């Protein structure tokens, strides 16, 4: 069964360092998303991406964050200068289309980011 894969599963970094989280969405999906979940809190939307550009972003997704689809399969989230409060699980998701059952989003297993 197709799945969203994320690497690494756990990333440890020092405050102020740049990190890149990687995702391979399901191959025929066109919409890509990043969410985060701080321990004990809700899953929160960060950004959506379609046709090589950002469709929508939340207030959390400030200038420290960027997304990219560098090739036909990968989708990345970059945090330029990490802060302690960026420590969270980051989930990548993808969906086939917009509207109807195409809107169903499938999630990867997540990357646990620990900022020290």
Partner 1 sequence: QKEVEQDPGPLSVPEGAIVSLNCTYSNSAFQYFMWYRQYSRKGPELLMYTYSSGNKEDGRFTAQVDKSSKYISLFIRDSQPSDSATYLCAMSASGAGSYQLTFGKGTKLSVIP
* Residues contributing to the site for partner 1 (CB under 8 A): 4, 6, 31, 33, 35, 41-45, 48, 50, 55-56, 58, 89, 91, 93, 95, 98-101, 103-110, 112
The residue (of 50 and 64) whose beta carbon lies closer to partner 1 is 50
- Between CA 104 and CA 96 the distance in angstroms is 7
Closest by CA position to 75, among listed 87, 62, 66, 63: 66
Min dist CB 113 to partner 1, Å, is: 13
The residue (of 13 and 106) whose beta carbon lies closer to partner 1 is 106
- Between CA 29 and CA 95 the distance in angstroms is 5
The residue (of 6 and 81) whose beta carbon lies closer to partner 1 is 6
Min dist CB 16 to partner 1, Å, is: 26
- Cα atoms found within 13 Å of the Cα of residue 61, Cβ hemisphere only: 20
> If you compute the radius of gyration of the chain from its CA atoms, what whole number of angstroms results?
13
Min dist CB 39 to partner 1, Å, is: 9
Structure token pair of residue 66: 């960027």
The residue (of 55 and 81) whose beta carbon lies closer to partner 1 is 55
């Amino acid at each position: 069964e197709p799945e969203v894969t994320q690497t690494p599963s756990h990333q440890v970094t020092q405050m102020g360092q740049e990190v890149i989280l990687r995702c391979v969405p399901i191959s025929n999906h066109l919409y890509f998303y990043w969410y985060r979940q701080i321990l004990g809190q809700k899953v929160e939307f960060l950004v959506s991406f379609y046709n090589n550009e950002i469709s929508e972003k939340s207030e959390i997704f400030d200038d420290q964050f960027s997304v990219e689809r560098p090739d036909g399969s990968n989708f990345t989230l970059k945090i330029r200068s990490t802060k302690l409060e960026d420590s969270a699980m980051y989930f990548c998701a993808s969906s086939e289309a917009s509207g109807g059952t195409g809107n169903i989003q499938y999630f990867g297993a997540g990357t646990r980011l620990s900022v020290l």
